[in-house]
A and B are shown apart, each in its own frame.
Chain A
C-alpha cells in the first residue's frame, strides 16, 4: 500500500529546562508561567540564570536591578548578579 501525505501539521511543546515546581523568588510564579507584567510565556518573558545559581524571570530581575538600592546584587545571595549567556554550560553541573 502506498501512502501519500498531502498535508501535515507539526505540533511541539516546550518548557524551560528547570525543575517543574520551582518558582521565581521575586514574583513567586512558576518559571513556566510569566512574570506579572506579561501575558504569554516564552521568548518574550524569558528567564535569567545567574552565575550564582539563582534564577528569576528576566522582567522581575531587571525591575529589581534597576532599583538603586539593589546595588546590582542577587536578591537571594547578595552576590553581584551576573547571568549566563545563552548556551553557556553549567560549570558545576551536579
Chain B
C-alpha cells in the first residue's frame, strides 16, 4: 500500500553520482552510483545497486545489494560516461563490477547497519541509502573483501529473480534476512 506512492516521489531529481537505470515497477529498481571524489579504488568506475522492495516499504527495509553486470560489446545504455567524441560508434558498455570494500562481499551483499532490520528507519529513502553507500565507498582506503568472503558467498548460494530471498521463496541457500551481521566496525 505504501510502496507505490512513496517510490513515485523518489523518481524526482537525484543527487550527483546517483542515476536511476531501471524503475519500471515498484518491485525492483536499479541505480548506478559513482564516488564523487578521486578515491583511487573507485575512480572512474560505476557500480550498480539493486533495490528490491516489499509491499511494506518503507516500513520494511528494501533489499539493497550490488549486482555484477558483465561488460558487453553491444551498445548497452552507457550512463553518463559521455565522452566528447562524436560520430564514433557508441562506447562499449564497461560493465558494473562489485566494488571492493571490507564490508562488501564479492557476491554484492553489503554489510551496512541501516540496511538491516535493526538499523532501518522508514524515513530512509532510495536517495539516502545511495548517499550512505556512496560515502561508505568514498571513506574506504582498504583494497580488500570482508573476512570469510568465500565461505559467506558459498553459504548464500545464487541470487534469484527475487533477490537474495533464499530457500523461503524458492531460491537456494539461506535468505539475506536470515543473516546476522555484526556491525563492529565504526571506522568505515
Contact = CB atoms under 8 A, between A and B. Distances in A.
B123 A27 contact: no
Interface in A1-48: 25-29, 36-37
A37 B117 CA distance: 23
A29 B122 CA distance: 13
Interface string B50-68: 0000000011100000000
Contacts of B5: 27-29, 36
B6 A78 contact: no
Interface residues of A, number: 15
B121 A78 contact: yes
A76 B125 CA distance: 12
21 contacts: A25-B123, A26-B58, A26-B59, A27-B5, A27-B6, A27-B58, A28-B5, A28-B6, A28-B125, A36-B1, A36-B2, A37-B1, A60-B122, A64-B59, A64-B122, A69-B117, A75-B121, A75-B123, A76-B121, A76-B123, A78-B121
Interface of B: 1-2, 5-6, 9, 58-60, 117-118, 120-123, 125
